[in-house]
Chain A
């Protein structure tokens, strides 16, 4: 119970542990952790109460999604309580409608999922394993679920080594740099995983306000099924840890309140997770990064006070098949690779960065720069590597299923495909207009989807290096997109998207459909500012010569070009790098198979699990939509009856 007290040293402790009920229309649920410090504030003002999560089960046709395969029904609407502001950060009445002070960026609720022992992902046979196209990006047999395969029997999950040996044929980031070899002494035996140093519950950091573990945390952890779905969700300044398969899912396993900072993004390391260890990283709007191990309640703070990069972290991901390295996308357009166990050091971009030499000659600034290569021998401190992709805000990044490529979307409206292992840009595609907000890969790595401020979901084919279709149906900006691996097979893809319009849209497309637009756009004439992608290469070269020149120069000297892929990083690059915007008329338009307002607030996150679709909104509603029951035989495996959920696609 001592965790219920504000550990941060501030004037009044009371408000947060407030008992008093006082709200507008709906009574909040009773506070679960009274500490006797009743707050008797003046009426009308005063801090808000800390409330509990609530669970509702609304029914009716407006809570059903009717699709071809059946009807998805809203099972649970879990409303995560928004924590009241920290007493030191009480909201001031703002009388100025034009106040120019811009607060730090905030985001809606996003989820990171962890299933300790996931069931096997949807049948591997559904995915093309070695098509001609995928061969060059060397897609591993199990797509995106790679981390699960070696551990699908519960016995071997605790050790990441299994996966390491499994992946030893696949190059990973920084392989060729001896300086990055993990120290051999590190406890790779059993569950001796490195933990962060500080206890978050007992922390007296001013960054962490307080931590509220569940009274029976250890018991709940011990009793829960290993294939149950755990979720971490950010709500305002809180991070809550939930067990979605628990009967008492409203009760947080742990709630961490930060003083002022909001976590904007988080990720769980798939290869180090076990029933006794979870490596989680959080990126904050204050630019801080926290490495958090929830089971032992330990944490470490990186990029403290913006030492390495001072802009907020908009997206954060563990590097594929890496235990220690993760990638943070900062809002200044930087990508920074950190090692969770290394100390920060003031970062000065390395002068030796070959990008900055020799290729500047008068051409406009190159957007992609290597500020520190992974090949750098100086690897005692963070960052491990650093790049600049844009001078505008990066909104989302996604690794390809094989871990080789990275898709980055920015406010400048660009989708940049980076050959991450070799640190060079492969392609740049542009949104129809406006910034791009979200990105994801198809399970087989052939397609990239982006959503953005043009209200469109765009489907990009990496093989054809072209836009294949625009998906029209959202009424506002698209904030998240995901494939539904349970409904994808060799020719057909199912994906979903959510947006500021509070809508969930489901889409189906098949390879057959995707074949058409190519032919269409081929016949399209050039327009003033909008040109078809499929104009002869010579034309394109002229129109984009400057851009291409400098981008190509990048790839020319990609370090470690003695790569396994050998897809022409030296000499003439494989193809055009910067792709023109396709005219609307020349592009295939894909309509949704389902469109429905699923939340009265703008949606911020979407995930597909084996048994449900999960949506999350800016207000903290997490909704689980059960898949159609009658279509049960359509889902790949139905052996188990428990609601086991795999993180795949989440």
Chain B
């Protein structure tokens, strides 16, 4: 208990403005968390842009993939601004007028009351679990106090907790979607007067699971896959919306995303009025931020003819090799590749499958480079995905070497701003956290409910490296999985370096930690061990039941009842609901109903989505030819989806609860065939027997102008299958995460 004694509650920093802390010497009074201490010197009003809000996210059981990614997106300033400002104010004002004049049935009803897949209150949430008294041989009380699980629980108990139960989509004039619920979360965080707290992303998960079967299970999911899905859905949602409101839209070219500087985007966002569209509907902001353009150049070795094709990407998936750097991985990504044997290239010039050389280079650099390290590789021997622990170093700054000759600003400087870390021995279980650079509070570790300040050097802790057998260090299981680099300038870097304090923070932190733990436990030989953040022990990681990421924040005796929603709540834009016992009972009933209704809803939703998607495409392309292609491809997709669904479940059975593997196949379910990510067309996949039958299928399909490497470019392949050269020439806006070569991640 000296742990508590060390810090007088009176010194507790403001965790919710206005609410005075009990200054009594109560041993159970909240102890300042590391985050609170970190923020103790924050003065001045909370900024309206949300850059100084630090909210954890409640884990609904293996939803860390979602939490870690949302945090990364939130702390991308331009992304956050854009989410907040879509639809823009002028539009919303107009909409408010419009709806006032409209008959009630003029607009689809908000779907806010649909049955829930994520029970609320979420009693399964690890951090909310009631604790059994610890078993005899259990952890010492001192330990559990400082154990990450306990601190997660404390964070949740301390609140304020923003329960995102209902959506505000109707306020935005939009149908409920992942985008609106993401916006809800952002708005709630920013609208709340506390700087810190916990978000309970109930609604978001509900929609995610409603619309995406693969995320429905409580299994471990792939964070990168989720990122890609989320970005694609945000694009879909935003575009769909603008199509639904063509009257307020000024049509924009589909082609290239308008080039804007960061400053322009920021200022416009702040001003709340967009320069592009008078009605304030710019639907290209996701593209502007994340989209880059790859050019793949294929040289037929028979006729020496070179063909080029551009492909857009939202993130890059790079293969890993041991003892390399991300720079090297990117170089390798763009290295020449031979297309031969089963991967032969259909040359238009000589007509037929030919051997060819192919390389992919970046033609347009994205403003935010999301770099996916393919740590999950399919191994033929084991017939399943395996985690690669290769040591891959990543610097704080980056430039790209693999750009085309004509790329603009090819020396663009990037800075690392977020790292998603995967912890665990394999792809089917484990935990995700993110480490994110904030505007002026340094680097923070976001581990579900827990937000912790970390030293800058901590960021470079996750290079990976083959675990040393016998070495009992769980750090070996934590490797960077997705790296977010954002564009910056040398001037900005210099400015930052001037203010950066080198090692100083370390020193202060260490002393800080020592004070904090001082006298904590004489029985504990290494105090440093207590200054820790998280998660399960090594053994547990290895054999963890995928469902039970819950274990990360387990049993703690005194689950403090969530404090009543105090004065903090009123300003929050969502309606806080108090967890009540009656509610719990209601839930049970609702669950029953839910299952049935879910099916129905799903069907409706799918139909609606399909219809609108078709409409959108029609409007967008204005091209009959193309439209036909799309329809065809959709049909193909449908077949494939069916096929994949089967395979997927087979796979998941095979690997024993391998949700990720099985889920892969269902990824594009209900979405347009040209959307989504390139699928698993790799050779490895074929060998596994679950590779969409690609191996057999491919030769039969007339390929034209294809530059297929037999890799991830599922879309390319589909287009080729449709045999429409127009597609290639058109530079259609497909949005994929592009990966290549043989190793198959969870892409």
Contacting residue for B148 out of A96, A455, A547, A581, CB 8 A? A96
**A580 vs B491: C-alpha distance in the bound complex, in angstroms?**
11
Given contacts A101-B529, A390-B502, contact A476 B325 (CB under 8 A): yes
Do B457 and A583 have beta carbons less than 8 Å apart? Answer: no
Q: Is residue B649 contacting chain A, with contact meaning CB distance below 8 A?
A: no
**A454 vs B326: C-alpha distance in the bound complex, in angstroms?**
10
Residues of B within 8 A of A529 (CB): 411-413, 489-491
**A140 vs B503: C-alpha distance in the bound complex, in angstroms?**
38
Chain A 523-564 interface mask (CB, 8 Å, partner B; 1/0): 000011110000000000000000100000000000000000
Contacting residue for A98 out of B327, B397, B409, B423, CB 8 A? B423
Do B324 and A501 have beta carbons less than 8 Å apart? Answer: yes
Number of interface residues of A (CB under 8 A): 55
Residues of B within 8 A of A93 (CB): 472-473, 538
Task: Tell me the chain B residues, 493-547 only, with Cβ under 8 Å from chain A.
Answer: 494-495, 497-498, 500-504, 506-507, 510, 513, 525-526, 528-529, 531-538, 541
Q: Is residue B84 contacting chain A, with contact meaning CB distance below 8 A?
A: no
**A391 vs B477: C-alpha distance in the bound complex, in angstroms?**
32
Decide if the interface of chain B is mainly helix, strand, loop or mixed.
mixed
Contacting residue for A433 out of B397, B461, B528, CB 8 A? B397
Q: Is residue A311 contacting chain B, with contact meaning CB distance below 8 A?
A: yes
Q: Is residue B583 contacting chain A, with contact meaning CB distance below 8 A?
A: no
Give the distance to chain A from B480, nearest Cβ to Cβ, in Å: 12
**A276 vs B321: C-alpha distance in the bound complex, in angstroms?**
49
Residues of B within 8 A of A454 (CB): 327, 395, 399
Residues of A within 8 A of B533 (CB): 96, 98-100
Give the distance to chain A from B262, nearest Cβ to Cβ, in Å: 11
Do A101 and B497 have beta carbons less than 8 Å apart? Answer: no
Contacting residue for A500 out of B325, B476, B477, CB 8 A? B325
Chain B interface extent, by class: 35 or more
Q: Is residue B328 contacting chain A, with contact meaning CB distance below 8 A?
A: yes
Task: Tell me the chain B residues, 425-481 only, with Cβ under 8 Å from chain A.
Answer: 433, 445, 447, 452, 454-455, 457-458, 461, 469-470, 472-478
Residues of A within 8 A of B218 (CB): none
Given contacts A98-B532, A100-B458, contact A475 B411 (CB under 8 A): no
Give the distance to chain B from A15, nearest Cβ to Cβ, in Å: 16
Do A435 and B395 have beta carbons less than 8 Å apart? Answer: yes
**A95 vs B535: C-alpha distance in the bound complex, in angstroms?**
8
Do B503 and A393 have beta carbons less than 8 Å apart? Answer: yes
Q: Is residue B568 contacting chain A, with contact meaning CB distance below 8 A?
A: no
Do B454 and A100 have beta carbons less than 8 Å apart? Answer: yes
The residue on B at minimum CB distance from A364 is B498
Decide if the interface of chain A is mainly helix, strand, loop or mixed.
loop
Q: Is residue B619 contacting chain A, with contact meaning CB distance below 8 A?
A: no
Do A100 and B393 have beta carbons less than 8 Å apart? Answer: no
Q: Is residue B410 contacting chain A, with contact meaning CB distance below 8 A?
A: yes
Do A96 and B474 have beta carbons less than 8 Å apart? Answer: yes
Q: Is residue B565 contacting chain A, with contact meaning CB distance below 8 A?
A: no
Q: Is residue A163 contacting chain B, with contact meaning CB distance below 8 A?
A: no
Q: Is residue A149 contacting chain B, with contact meaning CB distance below 8 A?
A: no
Residues of A within 8 A of B497 (CB): 390-392, 412
Task: Tell me the chain B residues, 390-426 only, with Cβ under 8 Å from chain A.
Answer: 391, 393, 395-399, 401, 409-414, 421, 423
Give the distance to chain A from B324, nearest Cβ to Cβ, in Å: 5
Residues of A within 8 A of B396 (CB): 434-435, 453
Task: Tell me the chain A residues, 82-132 only, with Cβ under 8 Å from chain B.
Answer: 91-103
Q: Is residue A292 contacting chain B, with contact meaning CB distance below 8 A?
A: no
**A102 vs B323: C-alpha distance in the bound complex, in angstroms?**
22
Give the distance to chain B from A599, nearest Cβ to Cβ, in Å: 10
Residues of B within 8 A of A407 (CB): none
**A434 vs B324: C-alpha distance in the bound complex, in angstroms?**
15
Residues of B within 8 A of A95 (CB): 472, 474, 536-538
Do B410 and A477 have beta carbons less than 8 Å apart? Answer: no
Residues of A within 8 A of B458 (CB): 100, 102
Residues of A within 8 A of B455 (CB): 100, 102
The residue on B at minimum CB distance from A89 is B526
**A281 vs B397: C-alpha distance in the bound complex, in angstroms?**
34
Q: Is residue A333 contacting chain B, with contact meaning CB distance below 8 A?
A: yes
**A246 vs B212: C-alpha distance in the bound complex, in angstroms?**
69
**A253 vs B478: C-alpha distance in the bound complex, in angstroms?**
40
Do A430 and B535 have beta carbons less than 8 Å apart? Answer: no
Residues of A within 8 A of B531 (CB): 99-101
Do B410 and A391 have beta carbons less than 8 Å apart? Answer: no
**A92 vs B506: C-alpha distance in the bound complex, in angstroms?**
22
Contacting residue for B541 out of A97, A332, A453, CB 8 A? A97
Give the distance to chain A from B532, nearest Cβ to Cβ, in Å: 4
Do A94 and B474 have beta carbons less than 8 Å apart? Answer: yes
Give the distance to chain A from B483, nearest Cβ to Cβ, in Å: 13
Chain A 578-591 interface mask (CB, 8 Å, partner B; 1/0): 00110111000000
Residues of B within 8 A of A102 (CB): 455, 457-458, 461, 506
The residue on A at minimum CB distance from B477 is A97
Do A500 and B452 have beta carbons less than 8 Å apart? Answer: no
Contacting residue for B323 out of A92, A502, A585, CB 8 A? A502
**A514 vs B559: C-alpha distance in the bound complex, in angstroms?**
70
Given contacts A96-B535, A102-B457, A430-B490, contact A500 B513 (CB under 8 A): no
Chain B 296-331 interface mask (CB, 8 Å, partner A; 1/0): 000000000000000000000000010111011000
Contacting residue for A584 out of B328, B399, B421, B503, CB 8 A? B399
Give the distance to chain B from A594, nearest Cβ to Cβ, in Å: 18
Residues of B within 8 A of A383 (CB): none
Give the distance to chain A from B127, nearest Cβ to Cβ, in Å: 16
Contacting residue for A581 out of B321, B490, B501, B510, CB 8 A? B490
Chain A 151-184 interface mask (CB, 8 Å, partner B; 1/0): 0000000000000000000000000000000000
Residues of B within 8 A of A585 (CB): 410-411
Give the distance to chain B from A518, nearest Cβ to Cβ, in Å: 19
The residue on B at minimum CB distance from A585 is B410
Which of A413, A432, A475, A527 has the most chain B CB within a 10 Å cutoff? Answer: A475
Do B399 and A475 have beta carbons less than 8 Å apart? Answer: no
Q: Is residue A10 contacting chain B, with contact meaning CB distance below 8 A?
A: no
Q: Is residue A379 contacting chain B, with contact meaning CB distance below 8 A?
A: no
Residues of B within 8 A of A310 (CB): 507
Do B325 and A477 have beta carbons less than 8 Å apart? Answer: yes
Residues of B within 8 A of A100 (CB): 445, 452, 454-455, 458, 531-533
**A91 vs B452: C-alpha distance in the bound complex, in angstroms?**
25
Q: Is residue A602 contacting chain B, with contact meaning CB distance below 8 A?
A: yes
Which of B391, B421, B472, B490 has the most chain A CB within a 10 Å cutoff? Answer: B490
Do B475 and A332 have beta carbons less than 8 Å apart? Answer: no
**A530 vs B541: C-alpha distance in the bound complex, in angstroms?**
46
Residues of B within 8 A of A367 (CB): 498
What would 18 more interface pairs be, CB under 8 Å, given A93-B473, A101-B531, A311-B503? A93-B538, A94-B472, A95-B472, A96-B537, A98-B445, A99-B529, A99-B532, A331-B503, A332-B502, A367-B498, A434-B397, A453-B395, A453-B396, A455-B327, A475-B323, A477-B395, A500-B325, A529-B412
Chain A interface (Cβ < 8 Å from any Cβ of B): 24, 91-103, 310-311, 331-333, 364-365, 367, 390-393, 412-413, 430, 432-435, 453-455, 472, 474-477, 500-502, 527-530, 547, 580-581, 583-585, 602
What are 17 A-B interface contacts by the 8 Å CB criterion?
Answer: A24-B470, A93-B473, A94-B472, A95-B536, A99-B474, A99-B475, A100-B531, A102-B457, A332-B504, A364-B498, A392-B500, A393-B503, A433-B398, A434-B396, A476-B327, A477-B395, A501-B328
Chain B interface (Cβ < 8 Å from any Cβ of A): 148, 321, 323-325, 327-328, 391, 393, 395-399, 401, 409-414, 421, 423, 433, 445, 447, 452, 454-455, 457-458, 461, 469-470, 472-478, 489-491, 494-495, 497-498, 500-504, 506-507, 510, 513, 525-526, 528-529, 531-538, 541
- A-B pairs with lowest CB-CB distance, top 5: A93-B472, A95-B537, A434-B395, A453-B395, A530-B411
